Structure 1
């Protein structure tokens, strides 16, 4: 059957490669100018299928330009690209780009993000009563008694181009964040379908090196200033080959770029951590963006970046994302109930409802599409509010709403590509309410296409559509399933001069990268790394080795973690001033209660009780202090671990070292006051230093048990309760409250695990050694014999007990490090 005649006013759609191709900037330095290549693309667009020679030239063209940029070349906009007057052959911006476009060049390769047939089921497994109770204790996600499907995402497909600023919208539970996590590679379990960067599937660990994820809840160490935070992040994120001067220059430029210059030396603040109020919520959002931009990502994912902000701050944050998109990056944001002005900053919209994609395309075409479905947006209504209303599924009529949502998702899957093709053909004029003729033509074509869906599924014959204005038949060439993604790339939203400006600006940047225009050495390094990652495939050992080499060294990272922990501790009022005042009060009051003890029988017994008080008080302070510090920092460190910024064992090492120094200072101050006022060891300086050493060892050993508890129990309230119970049990087996030789054999194992037992025995021995205890009713007795007869302390094992304090302290810390790493990994995997 002969192919139907084509209307002379229509042109064939440009042929595009199904996969976007990322190439290095040096390939633009060829004999043929870029304008000649774009003209060749226009010839192919005008004259139909090329000859064999043209086919070969077209193949070369596909290797040099990614699909979206070639599609932009076919737009009838009168664009002109020319050479500069010099011999360097630098690529100039189009005339409509403006004089300031050169300054916005970021030197990064543009990335087209495409995804096809994404599926994912989120099912809540059933838990028994015991398992549910344990999960509640350890603050793990608790499931219902029976299995329940929470969200089913299927048939999701689309494409985002360089320069796109995408709004991912939908009601709560629609699957916005789930889709964002899948696209960013943060979630890989139970995920089906294909996600490609420039036409290549990348391993999750590779995709994360060229993209970033700005999370909904901002978390910072509030005691740091904005500049200090970025300095630590740059030292941890950037390759070790980057010099200090280069890092400082990058940080200064980033602060200016996100508009934080006036608060650069202000503390961030964190009211949730009982710290002073610092920078505003909008400034914290921009700081979160600046943190992720340090590694120069090509793709930016943001989850609810305007959550909790007023309209002005929300606009400032979204404008920042728009500027980043105009610099050639691909920006994808989930957003909830934006204002009309904020909504207008996005050029592309994705609508999700109950795991179904209802729309993915140009923002201006969205209203027209839903008008075709019978949903009319009132003239005075906020378009974003209208779209959110459409996506909502009301509980009172849930079954009908779910059925309607599924029907709309099927309509978009069958008709969406054709709709965007007609929208592009008419230059977006169907959005105007006055142009009813184009609107009628478009919807009539869609209805006819709906009755012949095989055209999208690769039918053997061309699909025929009727031009109601002129009576001519409009034919669309048959498409194979493999060409569907290419069509989506082509129809990804090039419908306005502003949109084409962003796309060609991205092209200009990519071409200029070969000449290193305005790009620093750091940017060139990161750009080269991004290009190597965009080659796709399973990461080879050489690539993984290069990725590992780009990470900061273990000794350098451990030093940075220790340094940051020291700064945070010194600026925390609870860790400094409050603890100092508490130490002074708790030392002075008991000291004057036990004032100037002698060596008679009653005072000797008071010396033992005061020794127990000293060990108990300082060890308990360390036990609870470590728990508070870890619980405060854990969410922030967990996030840094999930993004690959820190290694959990090295963080643990830095934090433990800082805490060890802190919990040597306060016991030293305490003992300095208490020892000399009480005369617990007489006037002997040697006994002072010996008892001080035992005190410090005991405090460190007891504090190590807190590391084990907080590594497993992440709930701050529950961990405090567990620590309190642990302190009570350990103190019971110290030998002061109960004679250890009278204990039942069942409790012996707890005696060996109690640092108080070893600490009190060694502390009192260092005090009573060489002393003589006198009594009015009994002959004098050696101090060590007094301890053995009265309390059952065996002074023959002094050095063994000292060794046991070392073993318990180091062993508990190593166990805590392993448990913390395991818990962090499990939390990351269960997201």
Structure 2
């Protein structure tokens, strides 16, 4: 079980865990500014339980507990590339999530994590580690270089000057062979052609390498890659480990060439450790358990097949796995446990987390730097997708023309009053649905990026929403302005120019409220499908109490709160007052019931129970517009 072979690389030297001498892997000379504390990471007695209730009305005693990880212990040292392997359901992903502090709220975790002799909490690893997740999430309208610059601005220490950040970006691109595609868009599936899958995976590593982390976690780094690209990725990871980093990754069924690149392997089976040690020793360990790997067989495939639960021999498989894990615990596992236990003793004089302050900000960049970086990125997203912009403007124009033709040239008579009121309410309804569904369809896909970058300590959530909303203000203003310009005079609404601009201002506010409501729905939904399913049911109650379908005085007292929070209500009242307040005459000649005739604009407002306190004040030199509305 000796691991000296893992540390024989002359490119990495250290006198102790606290005194660091980082050496350039090519020349053997000190690396200068790229110093980092090497990390020995160990975990002791990790158990994970998942609680699941039998149903909505189940009692506490009906809660079922599933034991996912069972007393898992291990250690990974500087200069090592450790692969966590096992069959599906073995617990390898759960273990990685625990090690990275991403266990989840529905899991109960026991055990302890230790770094260089000191116990740590998972959130302390954020500033000293990197986590390359299986799914590569990027803003596809950025180039490779722009993505790395964005990451460098937000993830590197604020004391580092801009010139050094750019130098680091160039260095990382060179190390991971991204120079050739640095000015290529990352790409959006089905819309924008971008970089290849291998380049995308290398970009994910590059983003994490910018901060020069001593500890790295990788979840299925070869997922979706062909055998050549998978080998290239693992070779890059091996090179990173040789520079003194501690790298832990999960991997599913690697080729024999890829498996040979790992220093050590952790084999999981049924939530237990079946083996942890050198890859060469793993074959001998299984041979001593009467499981001999053929000489021409991929060892990784052999281990996974041996540790899998075969459906046709389920009892025998589980029995063998239990005996193999027991044998490991009684032999090799004792040595691993002693190493992990030794690392758990706080006997060091210093720790890599000595500079960590419990109440310090988890963000490397200042609030202003965060805002500027996210604002620039949001602007580039809009500018680089002109097709989306053209589609939105065309959709707005076509809808406005259609509604304008339906309500074309209304007269100021009894029918015209009804038709114009319907047209005004349709303006609100159309802009609401158009903007809510527009946001839901786009923002739900960006939520995963937001959550990942926020949890990585890149920027605050309010920074993201504020920067994105400000970047989208031009479009949020242009769309309702275009809508009003097309439809207003086609319908024949109040022709005075001041009324035109008041109507435009009200609908600009409606559009922005709808955008905000779309963000609200997106944030409370797990995916696009759920957001689309609940959008209409959530909007319709606000629409019903908007004053068009139900008179304001007829709202039931138990629903009055809906009326007060409905933007349909305020917008419809404002537009109605703007339209009818100074109309002195409405024709009654075409009505069959003269007693119910609406003779002027004030009669229309009275019928809706709307009251205008002040609407317009003008003089000959300039135009002052004041809009004050009350019930």
CA distance in 1, matches of 2:211, 2:493: 58
Does the 8 Å CA contact 2:148/2:169 hold for their aligned counterparts?
yes
After superposition, residues 177-256 of structure 1 pair within 5 angstroms as: 177-187=93-103, 190-256=108-174
TM superposition shift of 1:279: 1.4
- After superposition, what is the alpha-carbon deviation per residue over 1:401-447, rounded to whole angstroms, capped at 9, x for unaligned? 22322222232233217999xxxxxxxxxxxxxxxxxxxxxxxxxxx
RMSD (CA atoms): 3.7
Distance 1:600 1:151 in 2: 74
**Counterpart contact for 1:167–1:348, Cα < 8 Å:** yes
Aligned counterpart in structure 2 of residue 534 of structure 1, from 352, 360, 365: 352
Query: Structure 1 residues 620 and 330 mapped into 2: Cα distance closer, same or farther (>3 Å)?
Result: same
Matched, 1:413 2:230: no
Q: Is the 8 A contact 2:89 2:270 kept in 1?
A: yes
User: Which residue of the other structure, out of 764, 770, 784, is the alignment partner of 2:582?
Assistant: 770
What displacement does 1:169 show? 0.9
Could you say which residue in structure 1 is the equivalent of 2:528?
716
Deviation of the 1:311 alpha carbon: 0.8
Could you say which residue in structure 2 is the equivalent of 1:822? none
| Structure-2 change in CA distance of 1:198 and 1:789 (3 Å) | closer
Deviation of residue 712 (structure 1)? 1.9
Counterpart of 2:423 in structure 1 is: 610
Indicate conservation of the 8 Å contact 1:318/1:345, yes or no.
yes
State the match for 2:389 in structure 1: 576
**Is there any run of 5+ residues in structure 2 with no aligned partner, and where?**
617-625
Q: Does 1:794 align with 2:611?
A: yes
Q: Name the SS of the counterpart of 2:327 in structure 1.
A: helix
* 1:639 and 2:452 matched: yes
Does 2:264 match 1:348?
A: yes
Aligned-partner SS, 1:772: coil
More helix by share: 1
Q: Equivalent residue of 2:137, what SS?
A: coil
In structure 1, C-alpha distance between the alignment counterparts of 2:565 and 2:334, rounded to whole Å: 73
Alignment-derived partner of residue 315 in structure 1: 231
**In structure 2, C-alpha distance between the alignment counterparts of 1:279 and 1:344, rounded to whole Å:** 29
What residue number does 2:86 align with? 170
The reply on whether 1:122 has 2:58 as its aligned counterpart is no
Between 238-247 and 685-694, the greater mean CA deviation after superposition:
238-247
* Aligned: 1:65 with 2:16: yes
SS in 1 for 2:235: helix
Match of 1:149 among 28, 44, 66: 66
Please say if residues 46 and 112 of structure 2, whose CA atoms lie closer than 8 Å, have aligned partners that are also in contact: no
User: What is the SS of the residue equivalent to 1:153?
Assistant: strand
Q: Is the partner of 1:361 in helix, strand or coil?
A: strand
Shift of residue 343 of structure 1? 1.0
Q: In proportion to residue count, which structure has more strand?
A: 2
The Cα of 1:159 is off from its aligned counterpart by: 2.6
Q: Within 2, Cα distance between the matches of 1:762 and 1:110? A: 64
- Between 1:611-620 and 1:555-564, the stretch displaced more is 555-564
Give the SS at the match of 2:290: coil
Contact 1:735 1:791 in 2 (8 A): yes
Residue aligned with 1:261, SS: coil
Deviations 1:164-198 (A, max 9, x none): 11111111111212222222333396433333222
The secondary structure found in structure 2 opposite 1:397 is helix
Per-residue CA distance 1:233-277 (angstroms, 9 max, x = gap): 222212222222222222122112111112212221232xx5323
SS at match of 2:494: strand
Once the two structures are superposed, the pairs formed by residues 440-519 of structure 1 within 5 Å of their partners are 485=341
Q: 2:562 aligns to what?
A: 750
Equivalent position SS for 1:773: coil
TM-score (norm 2): 0.86
Structure 1 match to 2:317: 401
Matched, 1:652 2:465: yes
Cα offset for 1:727? 2.4
Please give the per-residue CA displacement for 1:299-344, whole angstroms capped at 9, x wherever unaligned. Answer: 1110111112111121121111111112211111111110111111
CA drift at 1:284: 1.2
Cα distance in 2, alignment partners of residues 783 and 533 from structure 1: 81
Q: Does 1:266 align with 2:217?
A: no
CA distance in 1, matches of 2:57, 2:224: 38
Contact conserved, 1:111 with 1:197, CA < 8 A, in 2? no
Could you say what secondary structure the match of 1:185 adopts?
coil
1:584-616 deviations in whole A, cap 9, x for unaligned? Answer: 101122223333444344334332222122121
- Deviation of the 1:361 alpha carbon: 1.4
The CA distance in 1 between the partners of 2:334 and 2:577, in whole Å, is: 89
Structure 2: distance between partners of 1:583 and 1:646 = 34
Hey, what does 1:677 align to over in structure 2?
Answer: 490
Distance 1:591 1:131 in 2: 56
How far the C-alpha of 1:91 sits from its partner, in A, is: 9.9
SS at match of 1:266: coil
Separation in structure 2 between the aligned mates of residue 303 and residue 483 of structure 1, nearest angstrom? 25
Report if aligned partners of 2:141, 2:185 keep a CA contact under 8 Å in 1: yes
- Larger CA Rg, structure 1 vs 2: 1
> 1:157 aligns to what SS in structure 2?
strand
Which of 573, 585, 602 is the aligned partner of 1:785? 602
